[in-house]
A and B are shown apart, each in its own frame.
Chain A
Amino acid sequence: MVEAQQNVKKDRPVYRNIGLAQLIKYRLPWAGKVSILHRISGAVLFLLLPFILYLFDQSLASELSYQNFQAFTGNILVKIICLGLIWSFLHHFCAGIRYLLLDLEIGVEKSESNRSAIIVLIVGIALTAVVGLKLFGLY
């Protein structure tokens, strides 16, 4: 019995300084996936801040710039970039709310936090679909 347990222990991969090659094999729990996506979505929003501000500027500056804004965002490529930004924002928003709740010690149990991580992923994608369908003019 003890021997069997030791064998099981031996077979487990040990990760210390994770390299890129190991990252592919590394199976994150849902909370881990939400966490790294929270970081990636935050970084994307940070990098595209000038683009977001430019869109905001165009939409507000004047009647004419508003028309330019509408024409610009009518472009399919711009729409796709916007959809990426919308997902980034919504995922970051939902994951952030989850962290705020965890700070209040709501849902800190292992099973609850696993479930809330899955909910965050699904809600982020679902809301992106709702806004995305509007963006592409399907309703």
Chain B
Amino acid sequence: MPIYQIGPKRLVVGAHYGLKEWIIQRVTAIVMVVFTVVLLVDYCVTGSATYEGWSGLFSNQFMKLLTLLAFFSLFYHAWIGVRDIWMDYIKPVSIRLTLQVLTVLYLVACAAYAVQILWKV
């Protein structure tokens, strides 16, 4: 940590500035693009929208894992994007930190719900 960030001037909000977030934002985006293409191809191949076809697709173990990866990518991607929005527009540290904490809790809850949905099928 640089010396000027120690004491009252240190950064107290934000989650790792820099390259890591930037790369994750792009990796998670690509995972979601792949997932979207797979869904689209499946739709073009099967064509019809029935419950058997739809649930059959997600009962496949490979598809389950790919969907889970896509969902987790979505939540991490959303965390970085929404964190950027708070950092851009919300200046008071107390409000920004509160919003960031709520965002994380919200996304973790969404992730739990997504797992529950997928493993019911």
Where the two chains meet, the residues of A that have a C-beta atom closer than 8 Å to any C-beta of B are 39, 42-43, 45-46, 49-50, 53, 56-57, 59-61, 63, 66, 93, 96-97, 100, 103
Q: Does B14 contact A (CB under 8 A)?
A: no
Closest chain A residue, CB of each to CB of B36: A93
Residues of A contacting B: mostly: helix
CB <8 Å contact, A53 and B117? yes
Q: List chain A residues, Cβ under 8 A from B93.
A: none
Question: How many interface residues does B have (CB within 8 Å)?
Answer: 21
Contacts of A57 in B (CB 8 A): 113, 117
Taking a contact as CB atoms closer than 8 A, the residue among A53, A61, A103 that contacts B113 in the complex is A53
Q: Is the interface of B mostly helix, strand, loop or mixed?
A: helix
Given the interface pairs A53-B113, A57-B117, A61-B120, the reply to whether A66 lies near B54 with Cβ below 8 Å is yes
Within 8 A of A (CB), among B82-118: 82, 85, 106-107, 110, 113-114, 117
Q: A43-B82, A46-B81, A53-B113 are in contact. Are A63 and B51 (CB under 8 A)?
A: yes
The 8 A-B pairs at the shortest CB distance, nearest first, are namely A66-B51, A57-B117, A46-B78, A42-B81, A49-B110, A53-B113, A60-B121, A63-B51
